[in-house]
Structure 1
Amino acid sequence: MTLTEELWSAIEPIYAEILAHPFIGGLTDGTLPRHAFRHFVVQDSHYLRDYARALAVCAARATSEEDVQAFADDAVGAIAAEQSMHADFLTAFGETAAQAAAEPVLPTTRAYTSYLLATVYGGSFAEAVAAVLPCYWIYARVGEQLLAKSSPEPLYARWIATYGDEAFQSVVRRVLDLTDRLGEEISPAEHRRMVEHFTTTSRYEWMFWDAAWRGETWPV
């Protein structure tokens, strides 16, 4: 069993819960309340800024020039997504990116990004890759799963197309190949930590969609 096969096996129940979540179902059938999608977009804009930082740390810690460039490009791409796609979504809500940036980072977003940054700074390169991998891989799998159905709501159809697109899928395959290469080099202790980080950030992926569905706010 390759490392990526083991990692996916570890989160299959989590992924099943993601696909079954009403937020994901609402994207596909167009019934997702627009306020829930707006919540998601605003928090995702906050998230992607820190995710780009995490990818930049991966680039700095990578041992090959190819991996340095790839993660650096992905960090730039995360910022570009925040500036372009999210800005277009916000325009549809009659808002600007500046208005969204002024809104608070909410509990699940803060917890996810704090864990992510702590891991990429405090762990090994392999641990950093495991922590950032679910945001690549789960989005690719969800996009691929939903692409055939798409959505009658144009905003949601665009989101689905972005992550189901072959260009994004090829980026994810590159990170999966790297993960399997790392799996051949790491110690048993590092292997266990990779599984732990991957599983934890996969749980945060479910929590992120659930927070948008619930309209999460700070309780006090």
Structure 2
Amino acid sequence: MSRFRDELWQVVGGVYDQILAHPFLSGLTDGSLPREAFRHYVVQEAHFLPDYARALAACAARSPEPSGVQRFAGDAAMTVEVEHSLVVELLAAFGLDEADARKTPAGPTTVGYTSYLVRTCSLGTFPEALGAIVPCYWIYARVGETLLGRSSPDPLYAWWIDTYGGEGYQETVAGVLDLLDGLVPDGEERHRLLDRALTTARYEWMFWDAAWRQEGWPCG
């Protein structure tokens, strides 16, 4: 029996394949990723996560059902508590704290991605918000699950892989996908949901690519 998640994955799966083939992720698994590229990623995550939590909270506010309110409000809090804690510990591995991280400005991709998420979840319909949010969960879960099978000789990279490939995160994502399957948008609303999902998936690729390139602002 076909589920709505399957239709969404048909839209974003091609981007996921490109993400998985990206040298940032292949470098995580074989240990060849330059530490400076990973440092850039962690610093940008420190900028990204607070706005991601705001987007989740806005998604909760848009939900017409209590189950959606509970899910996304809870996950907003979990993002601040769990994923934020991981970033703090990863920063510490580089001898940094959050104040140090914020001395480096959020890069163009980070600003674009967070702005898109917060705007869509705050101003769009609930299906649009859900479309924007689901790839953030699902792509990380699929990446984590896949890389977990490959592991990494670098303990810092293995730690990151274990977090997103681990059972706790996978269960969280499964709950979001069940909620997605319970939504049955049609017509233009369905198109908008899938369009938002594709845009977010592209931003996921761009975020890792920005870390790989150690992207900065071109002027100023």
Scaled by the length of structure 1, what TM-score is found? 0.96
Q: What RMSD, in angstroms, separates the aligned Cα atoms of the two structures?
A: 1.1
**Residues in 1 aligned to 2:64 and 2:103: alpha-carbon distance in whole angstroms:** 37
Partner of 1:206: 205
Residue 132 of structure 1 aligns to a residue whose secondary structure is helix
**Residues in 1 aligned to 2:174 and 2:85: alpha-carbon distance in whole angstroms:** 24
Q: Residues 138-167 of structure 1, C-alpha deviation per residue, up to 9 Å, x if partnerless?
A: 000000001011111111001000000111
Q: Runs ≥4 in structure 1, deviation > 4 angstroms?
A: none
**Residues in 2 aligned to 1:5 and 1:133: alpha-carbon distance in whole angstroms:** 12
Q: Residues 41-98 of structure 1, C-alpha deviation per residue, up to 9 Å, x if partnerless?
A: 0111111110000000111122222321221111011112353111111111111121
Q: Which runs of 5+ in 1 are unaligned?
A: none
**Residues in 2 aligned to 1:20 and 1:165: alpha-carbon distance in whole angstroms:** 21
Do the aligned residues in 2 keep the contact of 1:45 with 1:82 (CA within 8 Å)?
Answer: no
**Residues in 2 aligned to 1:167 and 1:128: alpha-carbon distance in whole angstroms:** 24
Worse overlay, 203-212 or 86-95: 86-95
**Residues in 2 aligned to 1:83 and 1:202: alpha-carbon distance in whole angstroms:** 21
Partner of 2:75: 74
**Residues in 2 aligned to 1:7 and 1:68: alpha-carbon distance in whole angstroms:** 22
Worse overlay, 64-73 or 193-202: 64-73
Partner of 2:46: 45
Opposite residue 157 of structure 1, the aligned amino acid is A
**Residues in 2 aligned to 1:33 and 1:145: alpha-carbon distance in whole angstroms:** 21
Partner of 2:196: 197
Q: Which runs of 5+ in 2 are unaligned?
A: none
Between the two proteins, the alignment pairs up a number of residues equal to 218
Shift of 1:101: 2.3
Scaled by the length of structure 2, what TM-score is found? 0.96
Q: Residues 103-141 of structure 1, C-alpha deviation per residue, up to 9 Å, x if partnerless?
A: 201000001111111111121011101101111000000
